Structure 1
């Protein structure tokens, strides 16, 4: 079986984990946590950042930082993972789902303004497949209406919008280092803080609502409970694993981008013939090789293609179901009509893409898809 995903180990993960243990501090905010923070600031240009135990945690921190209160409205795409919505629903927000573009799963920036009401507090954008949303339009709308923008950049490491790293544009951003992502730590995430007014409170929330970090820097003589928060910071063992990955970011990214391009080159003839739709990359965006998808003509065709590939030991998967049609959400409110989102939920198919995917196996996958559509 050619798996859908396989976590890649660089070879230095256990070495750094052993070193972290030898240093005698393996709880959060240790030596390797700081090394990762410094990497993201110095190498990727993020103004400030905090590692978290997951991207979900980072999103929950963002919801607290922008002070989401019961009844506030938060606009976000329906075509996303449940964590995007859950983080804000936990604070009592009313989620307002927006549709995708017809040819792109990202949130349709052209319809955002009509969804804004006096209760709107924030816009959450998701850079699906690491491809940037139209951030100029989104940030201009947010500024005009006094709204916060949070980037769900779970899939967007090392991807750019007009030369700017994704995650560096909104007021806050959240990244994932789950084992399915380009850069991994098993579970893990990061909050990026682009608005300096959030710096101090973010650190407090990160440390269970205490000023513990300030205490260890000698800024206060004792630490105490000063705000709400939780244990959002990961173990330094997790950070040590992540640091080994970060040191190999360029190599990992080069390989994944090549695999993405191979799929695109190998399947473009089927798109020309009208058999499938391939990813559309806007001029302002880049590809980071996180995932490769194709869009079938209907749900039955996708189901048949999944079964066909499985019969030849290739594991392909569909992706998100529309959140606005989920049992939890639809029980609370009448679902909106989001045709483009529903279309991607029914027709989008993800193909195997991981660092160690053999070129011969990839060529075989492409050939099998061609055979399916010839039938």
Structure 2
């Protein structure tokens, strides 16, 4: 079976983990944590980065920093992973789901203004497949109504919007280093703080609500419990693994983009004949090759394609079930109509894409899909 994903070991992961263990400090916020944070700040111009144990944790920190309270409304795309909404539900927010655009699964910025009320506190945008949302339009609406923008950049490492790194545009952003992402640490994530108002408090929340980091820098003579927070720091073992991956970021990205381009070129003839649809990259966005997906005509065709590929020892998957159709949401809110989100839930198929996918295996995948449609 050709797997859907395979974690890539770039070379120095075990060496750096050994160095972390031998250093005598494997709890969080050590040498490798600082190296990773510095890497992102210098390469992408992020104001401040804090590694977390997951992207979910980074989103939960963002919800705390934005002071989300019971009764506040937070706009979230329905076509996303549950953490995007759950982080704000935990703070008592009412989730207002936004539909996807016709162009791609990202939030439809042209319909955003109609969702804003006097209770709207934040907009969470998801850069699906690492492809940028229309951030100029979104930031203009947020500025007009004085609301926060949080970028869920879980899939968006090394991707850009009009030359600006995704994750650097909103007030806050969250990244994932889960094993299915381009750059991995097994589990892991990062909060990016782009607004100086949040910088000091973010570090306190990150350190379980204490000013321990300030204490270790010698800024206070003892550390105390000064705010709410939680155990959001990953261990040095996780950070050491991640740093080895970051050293190979350009090599990993080049290979993934090559695989993505091979798929796109191979299926263009089918798309031109109207048999399927291919990903659309807007002119303002770059492609970080996080995933390659096809869009089928119907849920029946999608299921038939996935079954056919599995019978031929190829593991392809569909993706998100729209959150507005989930049992949890429907028990608490009225039904909403989000046809484009439902379309992507029904028709999107993700193909295997990982660093070590061989040319022969990719060619087999391509041939089987062409055979299916012919």
- Structure 2 length normalisation: TM-score? 1.00
User: Which residue pairs with 1:216 in the alignment?
Assistant: 216
RMSD after superposition: 0.5
User: Which residue pairs with 1:181 in the alignment?
Assistant: 181
Is contact 2:68–2:121 with CA below 8 Å preserved after alignment? yes
Q: Matches of 2:274 and 2:331 in 1, distance apart?
A: 38
User: Which residue pairs with 2:76 in the alignment?
Assistant: 76
**Once superposed, which parts of structure 1, at least 4 consecutive aligned residues long, lie more than 3 Å away?**
none
Give CA-to-partner distance per residue, 1:18-59, whole Å, 9 cap, x none: 001111100000010001011111122211110000000000
Q: Matches of 2:166 and 2:50 in 1, distance apart?
A: 16
User: Which residue pairs with 1:105 in the alignment?
Assistant: 105
User: Which residue pairs with 2:27 in the alignment?
Assistant: 27
Equivalent pairs, count: 374
SS at 1:50 equivalent? strand
SS at 1:302 equivalent? helix
Is 1:257 aligned to 2:257, yes or no? Answer: yes
Is 1:325 aligned to 2:325, yes or no? Answer: yes
Structure 1, unaligned runs of 5 or more: none
User: Which residue pairs with 1:122 in the alignment?
Assistant: 122
User: Which residue pairs with 1:361 in the alignment?
Assistant: 361
User: Which residue pairs with 1:162 in the alignment?
Assistant: 162
SS at 2:123 equivalent? strand
Is 1:370 aligned to 2:363, yes or no? Answer: no
Q: Matches of 1:363 and 1:160 in 2, distance apart?
A: 29
Task: Give how far 1:331 is off.
Answer: 0.5
- Structure 1 length normalisation: TM-score? 0.99
User: Which residue pairs with 1:152 in the alignment?
Assistant: 152
Q: Matches of 1:287 and 1:73 in 2, distance apart?
A: 31
| Pairing of 1:1-375 with structure 2 (within 5 A) | 1-374=1-374
SS at 1:104 equivalent? coil
Structure 2, unaligned runs of 5 or more: none
Give CA-to-partner distance per residue, 1:84-133, whole Å, 9 cap, x none: 00000000000000000113100000000000000000000000000000
Task: Give how far 1:186 is off.
Answer: 0.3
Q: Matches of 1:18 and 1:9 in 2, distance apart?
A: 15
Q: Matches of 1:266 and 1:61 in 2, distance apart?
A: 42
Is contact 2:44–2:168 with CA below 8 Å preserved after alignment? no
